[in-house]
Amino acid sequence: MSSLSSPQAGLLEKVFRYMDLHQDECVQLPDGQTLPIPPIILAELGNAPERPTVCFYGHLDVQPAAQANGWLTDPYTLTEVDGKLYGRGATDNKGPVLAWMNAVGAFRALEEDLPVNVKFIIEGMEEAGSVALEELVEREKDGFFSGVDCIVISDNLWVSQRTPALIYGTRGNSYFTVEVRCRDQDFHSGTFGGILHEPMADLVALLGSLTDSSGHILIPGIYDHVAPVTEEERDMYSTIELDLDEYRNSSQVKKFLFDTKEEILMHLWRYPSLSIHGIEGAFDEPGTKTVIPGRVTGKFSIRLVPHMNISVVEKQVKQHLQYIFNQRNSSNQMAVSMVLGLHPWIANIKGHQYLAAERAIKTVFGTEPDMIRDGSTIPIAKTFQDIQKSVLMLPLGAVDDGEHSQNEKINRRNYIEGSKLFAAFFLEMAQLHGMAGTSA
């Protein structure tokens, strides 16, 4: 049931009808120009002071892809199969960017006033770390962003294939390297094996000391500042739609570390996790090579959650690894570095942007959204929050879209209904803004 007034509901129905009639035009992707270093695009439409201003963040760059690597279709030619739109960037993030433009374009095509002022910030370097984006946001906080009421990010996925979702939190990330060095040259294991403190043996022991077999992080104090679980939060997990068998099968995993939906979601979203990513300097090619690496570097990261402090985590990690290394009485040298430190993000779900999005989802999809978090890291959300802007994460893609993977897709339904969702969101934000103005 829509919360909009009769005139607004009539306008929304008109916009939806236009999108349905022109959905094939929405699916056609124009040929684009490739730029070596793409600029960050700032755009705006409308500046009526009585209307709220919503800003959309998106990115147009994608992960590399080649059909020879397992794609069923050309990854750079949008191809529809059984209601699924396949192509690199279909869900991450070109599809949502186009859906936002479709919503704006429908009002313009029907010669109807947009109920909100609209701004865009579109970048082309997200997959490479959003080069220069944070500096631009800080520089424009009193300029381009000064009148923005909320910023919408649609760079995530639902947790199911059917139920839409709103995301209100993401984890941060601290990425570490630990180097163990004897010398810069490798050794012959027949000549030196048995008389050295081998760097690889030291490194394996260090990495093995980080977690136990259940995934619990063994670094002393690491959980001390994790926000406690409230009853309200616990209740939210119980209402989320997640078929564990479907999730496990689609992930091609025999068994997860936890058996219940609630435990799995909490350990994905609101507890820290530690992952070991690789070892640099070790022999990893096919065949046999009787070498003792003279220097090796292990790489691991910790996904951070509220209210973990990055500098405290860095100190805890270094102290722990130094303690383990000292216990080995090794003559090698060890060096630990934190090469990346990104904060977690959490939103106020009582804000107007979340209420407007929830109402829009009910209007378009006829159901309540799952209120979820995202276990990954989206640094720009915290950057926007740091300049005192409300952020909304409003995903369009389903859990099986395969972002960053072969055969990435977005369902036609998600794409077209997602375009309608943005249009409904405009109207809901305008209505809530008007009510706030009246009460003031």
Catalytic (active-site) positions:
61, 126
Measure the CA–CA gap between 396 and 23, rounded to whole angstroms.
Answer: 16
H or E element that contains 391: strand 390-393
Length of the chain: 440
Q: Measuring CA to CA, which residue among 188, 199, 162 is closest to residue 296? A: 199
Q: Going by C-beta distance under 8 Å and a sequence separation of 6 or more, which residues neighbour residue 355? A: 428, 432
Q: Going by C-beta distance under 8 Å and a sequence separation of 6 or more, which residues neighbour residue 352? A: 149, 150, 390, 429, 432, 433, 436
Paired tokens of 386: 């740091």
Measure the CA–CA gap between 302 and 357, rounded to whole angstroms.
Answer: 31
Q: Measuring CA to CA, which residue among 334, 283, 388, 19 is closest to residue 181? A: 334
Q: Residue 174: how many CA atoms within 13 Å on its side-chain side?
A: 21
Measure the CA–CA gap between 174 and 134, rounded to whole angstroms.
Answer: 18
CB-based burial label for 240 (10 Å; 0-12, 13-18, 19+): middle
What residue spans of 366-411 are helical by DSSP H? 379-386
H or E element that contains 329: none
Q: Going by C-beta distance under 8 Å and a sequence separation of 6 or more, which residues neighbour residue 150? A: 52, 54, 55, 351, 352, 353, 389, 390, 391, 392, 429
Rounded-to-10 torsion of CA 232, 238, 240, 246: 150
Measure the CA–CA gap between 344 and 225, rounded to whole angstroms.
Answer: 13
* For residue 414, cis peptide bond before it (omega within 30 degrees of 0): no
Residue 317 burial (CB count, 10 A): 22
Q: Measuring CA to CA, which residue among 351, 356, 365 is closest to residue 426? A: 356
Q: Is the dihedral of CA 182, 174, 405, 261 positive or negative?
A: positive
Paired tokens of 145: 């962003």
Encoded amino acid at 434, one letter = G
